[in-house]
Structure 1
Amino acid sequence: MRLSRPPLIRFFSTPRVAVIGSGPAAFYTSLDILKYDIPVQIDMFEKRPCPFGLVRFGVAPDHPEVKSCQERFHDASKDPRFQFFGNVEIGRDIKLKELYDNYDSIVYAYGSSRENRLGIAGEDHPAVINSRDFVGWYNGDPRNQDLNPPLDKAGEVTIIGNGNVAMDIVRILLAPAKHWENTDITPYALDMLQKSIVRKVTVSARRGFLESKFSNKEFRECLELDKCGVAFTGWGAETFEPLLAGMKLGRVEKRRLQLVQKYCQPAAEGKSWRLDYLQTPLGIKVDPKQPSLLKETIFRKNRISPSGEIVPTEDLSSVSNQLLILCIGYKGEALAEFDELNIPFDTNRGAIPNREGRIEGMERSYCVGWIANASRGSINSTVADSSMVASHVVADLGKVQDSAKKGREAITKLLAQRNVKAINWDDWIKIEQYERSQGRKLTDFNSMLSVCNDGS
């Protein structure tokens, strides 16, 4: 459905819009702009040959309903006003200044790629893995296909952080391997899960239970692993009391506690997992007998003040683990030419400063998604933000009296001059069809490009 053009706005030419990134924020913003009955060209730039960002590489294999938005994104390709440029990295293949020279508006929607760090001794050990790499490994991100986490040697795993990604990883580690057989998990990940000896997973967080970042839905999915013989352990009255002191519970929190009370079991001999709260990691010790693995993680215990603040104590504890997975979030990074072009960037937050998606101090420059919101937000919030940014883009384009920008015509010539093979939407369809025929994802970029070149 197309929306009527904004009132009192007349378009005397066809303005050009460049969108950097191809995840949910990029596609929803593009689709919302296309809904308006206006002359416009939207060109989307993605450094990988394949689109969809975290929908392809970040969603758990057993959550196909979340990935279903890809079908919606295909709608953009049906509009002649839209074009996809995959395998084109801004800053490498096309300079950011060249985008500004050839487009009336720029939308930054390239997400957050740098993982946060703990800043403690031992963090660089190979048995300490960040969640981006681990999730990319089982989801087929070509950058992570050689990760090979030692699940066949690690009986105990600790996860730092307790958001939805942590819950996904609990399921990956403890669900029976057959649970993943009919999903799009990578063959090499499935093979490792079949060899896995992981029996105990500890999820550790700095704050309390009520501040948990996971949703009740994701929490319940992990608790329901009890049907597969995986016990949720470690909770009793002595656990609840310090976490709930002086707390007022809302509906969501009450439901979360009900889930704990329903599923918690005594210590189990088989597979199990637990939640540890009010713990800050201080150090990581390596196993002297097996230097490729860890021995334990050292934590400082915290307490909650009457005002709800986290207060460190003098008490220390340790958790035995051979593998540590960090789920402590991500930060965005500035593109190479930001300083040169005076584009603002908040390095502390890892985000582009903006007001409702309009970049501060810049004309017709916008940001949306994690690069705008400091790596926060769900698919649902992204939908709302994208709609808002799209409305700003359209309103501001109405002030362009006569665009002389060349857009995709100029970019196509530059790519040809530089011998850059841009992946268009027809190429992506070839990749997608090949993957479906093989029943698996392609997990290296060269294979994707080969499929496009030979038409397989």
Structure 2
Amino acid sequence: MRDLRVAVIGAGPAGIYASDILTKQHEGARVDLFDRLPAPYGLVRYGVAPDHPRIKEIIKALRRVLSGDRIRFIGNVDYGTDLDLEQLQEHYDAVIFSTGASSDRPLNIPGIDLDGSFGAADFVSWYDGHPDVPREWPLTARKVAVLGAGNVALDVARMLAKPADEQLTTEIPQNVYDGLKANQATEVHVFARRGPAQLKFSPMEFRELSHSPSIDVIVHEEGFEIDEAGQAAINASKSTKLVVNTLLKYLENEPSGAPHQIHLHLCEAPVEILGEDGRVVGLRTEHQEFNGDATTHGTGEFRDWDVQAVYRAVGYYSSPLRDLPFDDAAGVVPNEAGRVTDVSGEAMPATYVTGWIKRGPVGLIGHTKSDASETIACLLEDLDSLPTPSGGDPDALLRHLLDSGVEITLWDHWERLDAHEIALGESAGRERVKVVSREDMIAAGRAYAEDLAS
């Protein structure tokens, strides 16, 4: 097969898996893996709660891939600003987009824009030390609502309820610790539209919700309904059964009097965020009943909840990409098995997608791997028809970026930053302390090498 130069845009798990599969299946393939952040790993670094280090174990596998000599990490390059599709296609045989989904899916209910109404993705980015979000977060509400029935809702609820000092074993930076230390929340209310069998929590993460001695988990009986479709789902899925069993244990437990509480309300759909003087003062929900097929309908029975902040965790949403079509309703780039399709439904030459930008923000790591395999299979099927790039050496593109003032970070820069964060952690008795600002990340990736040499 002909030698192959491929650009992958997005250095999270989807992009890394695609790069790994391609280089394993094509001996002449080389990949340049671009990311808009100075560090790799995407949502594994910036979307996983800091008190779930086991999930971050995946970084070890991703690191092994990026250490390969035929995959080159190129960070701090923003597609759409520093690069466009035409430039990439001048220098590469094909381009794969794996930019994921990092924004909040919209929730169109009255009051959603009030002060005190937040997207969960923004909050996650804050407590994970993302360089592009503010360093402070308003945590003055004593009673908080979290809307959603997935793991992100659990993470948000737990981070709001858990005392800051219990996070000192994690990698949180100082600004996040300071913010959590000032947190006023004592009650966190999680609202799910449907019943026990439709919760999307991971069993282990749901069990761990009560592991803090400072938190009581309280499940309310109202809405604890399992219809025939729900029972069938429980019978068909071990994961669903484990979640429901944990739910029953929480339901039976007597509160211990812990200073913080997480309340779980089932079959309650948010219909309005209540405001006064532009700020959140409550949440209105409508009680739901099952239709017999796992769907629900509103009963006309409304309830107002006394909360001062609302976090919506109703799903992630991808951002449109320059030069590519975008399906606003689905939040994906239109494609057929990973081949990007234009407005007429025809495949765009040498242009592919994988991961959440391809299929939407659903599925776990296993889905991401199979998704990447499908996309790479299509690319290799198209190999003979891929146009030969006119720009020749991809290093010319990197020189252009450097000449344009883009502060590129490469793999050795990341390794220095990585070592620097680990060193910060050692001085605090932790495995790592994350560096937050983009400027500090870039500087640490360069200066730490000088520290080692001195």
TM-score (norm 1): 0.88
Aligned residue number for residue 6 of structure 1: none
Asked if structure 1 preserves the Cα contact closer than 8 Å seen for 2:326 and 2:334, the reply is yes
Aligned residue number for residue 235 of structure 1: 220
Aligned residue number for residue 286 of structure 1: 275
Asked whether 1:271 is paired with 2:260, we answer yes
Aligned residue number for residue 448 of structure 1: 441
Greater shift, 397-406 or 122-131, is seen at: 397-406
Q: 2:293 aligns with which of 290, 307, 326?
A: 307
Asked if structure 1 preserves the Cα contact closer than 8 Å seen for 2:196 and 2:244, the reply is no
Paired residue type of 2:203: N
- Give aligned pairs, total: 431
Q: Distance in 2 between matches of 1:255 and 1:420?
A: 49
Aligned residue number for residue 169 of structure 2: 182
Greater shift, 366-375 or 295-304, is seen at: 295-304
Q: Distance in 1 between matches of 2:25 and 2:338?
A: 18
CA-CA distance at 1:312 after TM superposition:
2.0
Q: Deviations over 1:93-140 (max 9, x none)?
A: 122211122211111100113312222232222311111111111110
CA-CA distance at 1:311 after TM superposition:
1.3
Aligned residue number for residue 105 of structure 1: 94
Over 3 Å counting, the alpha-carbon distance change for 1:247 and 1:428 in structure 2 is closer
Aligned residue number for residue 207 of structure 1: 194
CA-CA distance at 1:69 after TM superposition:
2.2
Q: 1:357 aligns with which of 330, 333, 338?
A: 338
Q: Distance in 2 between matches of 1:148 and 1:281?
A: 24
Paired residue type of 2:62: F
CA-CA distance at 1:221 after TM superposition:
1.0
Asked whether 1:50 is paired with 2:39, we answer yes
Aligned residue number for residue 428 of structure 1: 414
Q: Distance in 2 between matches of 1:252 and 1:78?
A: 35
1:233 is paired with a residue of what secondary structure? strand
CA-CA distance at 1:267 after TM superposition:
6.1
2:409 is paired with a residue of what secondary structure? coil
Q: Distance in 2 between matches of 1:316 and 1:44?
A: 50
1:203 is paired with a residue of what secondary structure? strand
Over 3 Å counting, the alpha-carbon distance change for 1:139 and 1:327 in structure 2 is same
Q: Distance in 2 between matches of 1:253 and 1:66?
A: 20
Q: Distance in 1 between matches of 2:201 and 2:415?
A: 34
Q: Distance in 1 between matches of 2:89 and 2:131?
A: 30
Paired residue type of 2:307: N
Q: Distance in 1 between matches of 2:65 and 2:244?
A: 43
CA-CA distance at 1:362 after TM superposition:
2.0
Over 3 Å counting, the alpha-carbon distance change for 1:423 and 1:246 in structure 2 is closer
Paired residue type of 2:359: N
Paired residue type of 2:435: L
Asked if structure 1 preserves the Cα contact closer than 8 Å seen for 2:173 and 2:434, the reply is yes
Paired residue type of 1:261: L
CA RMSD of aligned residues (A): 2.3
The 5-angstrom pairing of residues 36-185 of structure 1 reads: 36-150=25-139, 153-185=140-172
Over 3 Å counting, the alpha-carbon distance change for 1:255 and 1:433 in structure 2 is closer
CA-CA distance at 1:450 after TM superposition:
2.1
Asked if structure 2 preserves the Cα contact closer than 8 Å seen for 1:133 and 1:147, the reply is no
Over 3 Å counting, the alpha-carbon distance change for 1:301 and 1:429 in structure 2 is same
Aligned residue number for residue 6 of structure 2: 17
Q: Distance in 1 between matches of 2:349 and 2:369?
A: 23
Q: Distance in 2 between matches of 1:330 and 1:401?
A: 34
Asked if structure 1 preserves the Cα contact closer than 8 Å seen for 2:118 and 2:311, the reply is yes
Q: Deviations over 1:50-78 (max 9, x none)?
A: 11110110011122222122222223343
Q: Distance in 1 between matches of 2:228 and 2:305?
A: 25
Paired residue type of 1:451: A
Greater shift, 301-310 or 242-251, is seen at: 242-251
Asked if structure 2 preserves the Cα contact closer than 8 Å seen for 1:16 and 1:407, the reply is no
Paired residue type of 2:332: A
Q: Deviations over 1:376-429 (max 9, x none)?
A: 121221122223323333343355596655252231232133122211111111
Q: 2:401 aligns with which of 415, 418, 432?
A: 415
Aligned residue number for residue 334 of structure 1: 320
Over 3 Å counting, the alpha-carbon distance change for 1:79 and 1:254 in structure 2 is closer
Paired residue type of 1:172: M
Aligned residue number for residue 428 of structure 2: none
TM-score (norm 2): 0.88
5+ unaligned residues in a row in structure 2: which ranges? Answer: 342-346, 426-432
Q: Deviations over 1:155-190 (max 9, x none)?
A: 211100111011112221223433211111222222
1:148 is paired with a residue of what secondary structure? coil
Asked if structure 1 preserves the Cα contact closer than 8 Å seen for 2:338 and 2:352, the reply is yes
Q: Distance in 2 between matches of 1:294 and 1:427?
A: 44
1:301 is paired with a residue of what secondary structure? strand
Q: Distance in 1 between matches of 2:323 and 2:306?
A: 45
Asked if structure 1 preserves the Cα contact closer than 8 Å seen for 2:145 and 2:188, the reply is yes
CA-CA distance at 1:243 after TM superposition:
4.3
Percent identical pairs in the alignment equals 29
Aligned residue number for residue 298 of structure 1: 284
Greater shift, 116-125 or 52-61, is seen at: 116-125
1:122 is paired with a residue of what secondary structure? coil
Q: 2:326 aligns with which of 314, 335, 345?
A: 345
2:132 is paired with a residue of what secondary structure? helix
1:363 is paired with a residue of what secondary structure? strand
Paired residue type of 1:345: F
1:143 is paired with a residue of what secondary structure? coil
CA-CA distance at 1:215 after TM superposition:
1.6
Asked if structure 2 preserves the Cα contact closer than 8 Å seen for 1:16 and 1:405, the reply is no
Q: Distance in 2 between matches of 1:113 and 1:193?
A: 22
Paired residue type of 1:411: L
